[in-house]
Amino acid sequence: MPTVLLSVSDKTGIVDFAKELKRIGWNVISSAGTAKILKENFVQCQEVSEVTGFPEILDGRVKTLNPKIYGGILAIRSKTEHNEQLSRHGIGTIDMVVLSLYPFEATINRISKPEDKKINQDVIENIDIGGVALLRAAAKNYKDVIVICDANDYKVVIENLKDNSVTEELKLGLAAKAFRHTAYYDSLISTYLTYEKFPTQMAIPLKKLSGLRYGENPHQNAALYSNGIEGKPVVIYAEQLHGKELSYNNYLDLEASWCLVHEFDNPACAIVKHNNPCGCAEGTSIKNAYLKALTCDPVSAFGGVIAFNKLVDDSVALEMSELFIECVIAPSYSKDALNILMQKKNIRLLVQEIPYKREKYSTEYRMMSYGMLVQDIDNKLLNGIKFMTNRQPNEQEREALNFAWKVSKHVKSNAIILVRGMQTVGIGAGQMSRIDSLKIAAEKMKRVKHGLDERIFSLVLASDAFFPFSDVVEQAAKVGVTAIVQPGGSVRDDESISAAEEANIAMVATNTRHFKH
């Protein structure tokens, strides 16, 4: 009679599965917790302690770690010496292991990671030891043992057992799944317990949330994964209210716009296209912010992704209904706004109620061929202010420079941002030379319609990195720039300062660079 070992923390479907196994002639061994629910449902089983002759000890920390369990799982049935040893020690074979691990993931999602390194004892107690070992043992011996770590596989296994069609291919697939499961589980634990920024070895937990229609291009397959930490104020956990399935590129643009719009406290709007802002503004209202952001580059905004940091009302929804938009993400929508926007069949509407805030100790990863780059997230806005010219920016210019500098963090290098008030009027991004970025920004500025504010603001410029030459400053003077913010630190700073002094441009250094590749 074949034997199954059942030990599950998640009892979903286990009673029905055990009953099906009993019907087709399987013997059931079970850990105490699972045995209790089986017996309550009239499923006959033998407890692990009865098999091992040894009780559970240390509050259940030790129960299955016994040769009579692992010998029965790991014995290679085709080896005579293995069978002889089992017989000599009175060990029966275990032909299937069905197991779900302690809910470590649910526990850490309930208990935030402390900054003082005092780990909650409940977290420690939900680190499974024997369960991981059981899954690995069964998976290692997959040719002789079926291993199940997911209740969704109960049905297919039962069907194949009834048809006597359990193939080695099926068992190998289940074994690989078990190893992925334990690897993910261990990576959650190691990540949660690690406070070292760049340890010698890293394990990154990734759990599939959904498949995607395709990647950046139709010939590329793609999927969306999370790191297992739920409830974060990020795009992947936003609720989609309307529209067709999100694409790979949609997610990238939503992430870029959501991060940018939360640089600001006042009503703000960020419009992103191909992972770069084509307009961003703060306004007196969310409608005002949207119109100001849109006027920066209405051509590029066509088919873009739009993020708001405040409730979307019917007034801004009416304005957006005139433009083809891929996606909108906001903390909330009025009922009237949803009614208006949902008239557009293809627009994707997302709501993320929690404002985005970069975590202090967050890191980011970028894949390379057979490797990965890891770095701190760019959380620092500036590292002090240094006035580089005799003329200092006035109050209006300072506010605009602060706004422009925040936007510069989110524009691909080389980045030049032209701003009037709290509104981008020209953005140059991703060029190989900084002067070309300025030329692009200045050309786009020619299209900007004014009149959204009661007064005309001075034109200011932000550069994500220092000026290697004075050409950007000289060209900036020609397009009417009155103040510049840049990191400073070039060996030719004196040349740029002289050019600014000659043009009566106020120049400020932040001592912080914001390259974005």
Q: What are phi and psi of 279, to 5 degrees?
A: 180, 140
* DSSP string covering 212-264: ES-SSSTTS-EEEEE-S--S-SSGGGPEEEESSPPPHHHHHHHHHHHHHHTT-
Considering 11, 19, 113, 140, which one is annotated as catalytic? 140
Considering 113, 242, 274, 516, which one is annotated as catalytic? 274
Q: Are 418 and 441 in contact (CB under 8 A)?
A: yes
Q: How far is CA 102 from CA 18, 271, 472, in A?
A: 20, 44, 60
Burial of 304 per CB tally in 10 Å (0-12, 13-18, 19+): buried
Which helix (DSSP H) or strand (DSSP E) does residue 69 occupy?
helix 67-74
For the question of residue 140 being annotated catalytic, the response is yes
- Give the torsion sign (CA, 96, 102, 103, 108): negative
Q: How far is CA 250 from CA 235, 258, 411, 420, in A?
A: 10, 12, 17, 29
CA distance 311 to 336: 12
Give one word for 24, left, alpha or beta, with left for phi > 0 and alpha for psi -120 to 50: alpha
Q: Are 324 and 303 in contact (CB under 8 A)?
A: yes
Q: How far is CA 97 from CA 18, 19, 107, in A?
A: 12, 16, 24
Q: Are 36 and 128 in contact (CB under 8 A)?
A: no
For the question of residue 274 being annotated catalytic, the response is yes
The neighbouring-strand residues paired with 460 are 419, 483
Look at residues 273, 208, 215 and name the one whose alpha carbon lies nearest to residue 236: 208
CA distance 361 to 358: 9
* DSSP string covering 306-337: EEESS-B-HHHHHHHTTS-EEEEEES-B-HHH
CA distance 510 to 464: 10
Look at residues 341, 309, 297 and name the one whose alpha carbon lies nearest to residue 442: 297
Identify the three-state secondary structure at position 100: strand
Annotated catalytic residues are 140, 274
